[in-house]
Structure 1
């Protein structure tokens, strides 16, 4: 979580969070209260604060996580290495296919990051990426996550308990940040025009290299269906009903839940 008095950014991993946090730090005209990467919000929320979350197409996220792990980087790579399955990170499409099977299998949740995913008991009902979004979406989210007993219950409980006001989609991150800057309830330094000019001029920070950018890396034909079956929170609530990607043509994004 990256919190200011007027806004709290719920920084889901691999969703553009480094860029968004730096943009807020540079241009939001407010004091920074706390910055703890990928950590849940407080148990008691300050009144009147805007809550912003960033999300990403789930297949795109898995491809990014796999590519990152093939460089020996990331918390997920670390936990899978500790579990003795780092051989899956061989940089090939076949390796990704096998890796995806392991990551999507509820029986392997104990190998994944964060560890609270495996401990929560939610793995039979939701994939890792939807869990990562849900656990940052409101105070004490793990309480309701532990109570769910089906995929339908998981989505319904998220809708009941989340505190998200604004959603930033990785695929249209600049446009969504422009909309955020345009809100009347936020102030920007040295002014709104400067923040908008920076968005127009800057490339996103921390853009990781992707293995599937190589023409020889063929993503399995059934990969999207396998991912979508596990990541229903992202497909049903956040508009990812079909594969979208930040590295190819992207459809128009929603701006809020």
Structure 2
């Protein structure tokens, strides 16, 4: 299950080489038919502070769904899923709002190595005034007052089947959010971006898929794919206020996976992959 900007392009390439199969689509919810039989579900995740920097820097290169949505003036018709779910897409389109802040958003994408631009973007992303610009249904989610965009995507992808977002609409508190995730997350193993190769190999072993030693070593040495042009680590971009903002807005993911803020001097305090 591919969560954007968590190394999923790299994971996909490795899985293609090791286990074969085919890519049906990316970043989509799992269809109900996938829950028959004995399937092993993989999910990918990333340190939230690093995830937001990567997402913004990707936009500075003119890429990504959020970049397209927030920098497009007026109504957005492209990339909504018209072919796959025409009636649902039409209903969502009719309930959407035109983007009135495209110029402001474009200014925040001016330079992938400008921490001031990143902080401005981050504050806008977590300001209710600008939520309709983002799209993805996030601006209508009742829990958007207590959870950020990363948690919204996480909950949609890892706790709901295709088209099944009804249960998320009843969540309004952090406690309800955590309870829903605990009950409904169907991922058997998570691959953390920070230790992608090790977590992937551990997950394959748990799924009884043998990987030759030579392949293991080659995988560990391979460079990442689909990266952005930023030249600095996450700590370069954050100040105390924005660190605290992500700690609050992505509390569920921070606590589940044991992530630390950049100022703490580490990305992850756990030695084993959570499930």
Q: What TM-score do the two structures reach when normalised by structure 1?
A: 0.83
Structure 2 distance, partners of 1:11, 1:125, is: 24
5+ long unaligned stretches in structure 1: 1-9
Count of matched residue pairs = 239
Provide Cα deviations, 1:145-179, integer angstroms capped at 9, x if missing partner. 11102122112111111101101111111111221
Change (3 A) 1:65 1:204: same
Corresponding residue SS for 2:42? strand
Structure 2 distance, partners of 1:168, 1:244, is: 20
- Equivalent position to 1:230, from 232, 244, 249: 249
Report deviation, 1:119. 3.2
Structure 1 distance, partners of 2:232, 2:158, is: 30
Contact 1:88–1:98 (Cα < 8 Å) also in 2: yes
1:205 and 2:225 are equivalent in the alignment: yes
Structure 2 distance, partners of 1:53, 1:148, is: 22
- Equivalent position to 2:141, from 120, 123, 130: 120
Structure 2 distance, partners of 1:255, 1:214, is: 22
Specify which structure has the higher proportion of helix.
Answer: 2
> In the alignment, which residue of structure 1 is the partner of 2:130?
108
1:161 and 2:184 are equivalent in the alignment: yes
List aligned pairs for 1:1-257, cutoff 5 A: 10-28=1-19, 31-32=21-22, 34-44=23-33, 45-82=35-72, 83=99, 84=102, 85-91=105-111, 92-113=114-135, 115-138=136-159, 139-140=161-162, 141-183=164-206, 185-188=207-210, 191-213=211-233, 218-240=237-259, 242-243=260-261, 251-257=269-275
Superposition RMSD on alpha carbons, in Å?
A: 2.5
Provide Cα deviations, 1:22-51, integer angstroms capped at 9, x if missing partner. 1101111x533x521100011241221111
5+ long unaligned stretches in structure 2: 73-98
Contact 2:60–2:110 (Cα < 8 Å) also in 1: yes
Provide Cα deviations, 1:73-121, integer angstroms capped at 9, x if missing partner. 11111111023122221222111111110112244222225x2222333
Change (3 A) 1:226 1:249: closer
Q: What TM-score do the two structures reach when normalised by structure 2?
A: 0.78
